[in-house]
Amino acid sequence: MEVLCFGSLNIDYTYQVDHFVQKGETQSSDGLYVFSGGKGLNQSIALSKAGVRTYHAGAIGEDGRFLLQQMGAAGVNTDCVAVLPDIRSGHAIIQNDKEGDNCILLYGGANQAITRDQVDAVMEQFQSGDFLVLQNEINELAYIMECAARKGMKIVLNPSPMNDKVLSLPLELVDYFVLNEIEAVQILGADPAQAEDGRKLAEALCRRFAAAAVVLTMGGAGSVYMDEKETVLQEAYRVQVVDTTAAGDTFTGFFIGGLIRGLNKKSAMDEAAKAAAIAVTRPGAAPSIPELQEVEAFL
């Protein structure tokens, strides 16, 4: 069983700030760090570190070649990443404040230049039972989902960052949703007040998408796994937060990686929560993702 992550690769420019810059304000930052990132790249690295053979497909410009090296160093196969001429790689401008919280401004660049020819060539290499992991930072998502469903691949969707585009996707094809409360509320068209009750949201998603399993992450309040037969409640581990960037990506990669390795749902959720807890104690996106041995040793 293989796993293909078809998703974004970003250069993350992370600025250390006192507080998020306000409208009309000019603020000097306390530092600038350049990291590899992008929800797709982060999730591929997390999948690979979780111990599964991982293939990444996507697109970068010439300026993003170092992203390929970093993925390769983490064991991810990048043969399906196109290096496009005359376009910049995707990038993110991230403000990281004193509490470790972040806000992110994205520039899509090459992430938005995926072609159907590329999708066809990539999908030819995968088969029934393989996993496809997607986020919402590239174009042609609906086409990718339809190709994967025709092949009988299992589709994992992390609908992040959430926007109206997600609502027009063929969501009935999804096998696993991995999402937070705000994303769940928006997919359900529910009252934002319902974001308070993660379990109810997961139940509503399971009713709406009867063929899918749902993993709902709730930050410090933990997470819940739900399908038609099973519910697993997972607490979040308490740690000293340095930078929350890529915590969700780490969770997604380790959860799906755990399932592919044959863990039961409870163990996969626990491993994912531990991996995300370690990630938030470290700066940056992809560089903050731990190795499986560290996760297994985490108390």
Mark the segment that binds ligand RIB (CB under 6 A) among 32-40, 57-65, 81-89, 222-230. Answer: 32-40
Pick from 118, 245, 250, 252 the residue near ligand RIB by CB under 6 A. Answer: 245
The helix (run of H) or strand (run of E) holding residue 33 is strand 31-37
Which burial class, exposed, middle or buried, applies to 123 when counting CB atoms under 10 A from its CB (0-12, 13-18, 19+)?
A: buried
* Interaction of residue 39 with ligand RIB, rule CB under 6 A: yes
Mark the segment that binds ligand RIB (CB under 6 A) among 4-12, 15-23, 62-70, 190-198. Answer: 4-12
Closest approach, Cβ 129 to ligand RIB, in A, equals 28
Rounded CA separation 218/266 (Å) = 16
* Interaction of residue 158 with ligand RIB, rule CB under 6 A: no
Closest approach, Cβ 287 to ligand RIB, in A, equals 10
What residue has token string 């970093």?
70
Pick from 76, 92, 138, 141 the residue near ligand RIB by CB under 6 A. Answer: 92
Question: SS3 of 175, please?
Answer: coil
DSSP annotation of 98 reads T
**Residue of 259, 173, 185 lying closest to 209 (CA atoms):** 173
Which burial class, exposed, middle or buried, applies to 137 when counting CB atoms under 10 A from its CB (0-12, 13-18, 19+)?
A: buried
The helix (run of H) or strand (run of E) holding residue 165 is helix 164-167
Nearest-CB residue for ligand RIB: 37
Pick from 3, 17, 42, 234 the residue near ligand RIB by CB under 6 A. Answer: 42
Mark the segment that binds ligand RIB (CB under 6 A) among 5-13, 191-199, 201-209, 253-261. Answer: 5-13
Binding mask 100-139 toward ligand RIB (x if CB under 6 A, else -) reads ----x--------------------------------x--
Per CB under 6 A, contacts with ligand RIB among 251-290 are 285
Question: SS3 of 59, please?
Answer: strand
Closest approach, Cβ 253 to ligand RIB, in A, equals 11
* Interaction of residue 38 with ligand RIB, rule CB under 6 A: yes
Rounded CA separation 217/233 (Å) = 10
The separation between CA 259 and the C-alpha centre of its own chain, rounded to angstroms, equals 16
Mark the segment that binds ligand RIB (CB under 6 A) among 143-151, 242-250, 264-272, 273-281. Answer: 242-250
Rounded CA separation 129/149 (Å) = 10
Mark the segment that binds ligand RIB (CB under 6 A) among 36-44, 58-66, 184-192, 204-212. Answer: 36-44
Lookup: tokens for 52: 């599964």
The partner residues of 133 in beta bridges, in order of sequence, read 5, 156
* Interaction of residue 154 with ligand RIB, rule CB under 6 A: no
Peptide bond into 161 cis (omega under 30): yes
The partner residues of 44 in beta bridges, in order of sequence, read none
Closest approach, Cβ 137 to ligand RIB, in A, equals 6
CB-based contact 237:273 (threshold 8 Å): yes
* Interaction of residue 249 with ligand RIB, rule CB under 6 A: yes
Closest approach, Cβ 248 to ligand RIB, in A, equals 6
Q: Which residues bind ligand RIB (CB under 6 A)?
A: 8, 10, 12, 37-39, 42, 92, 104, 137, 245-246, 248-249, 285
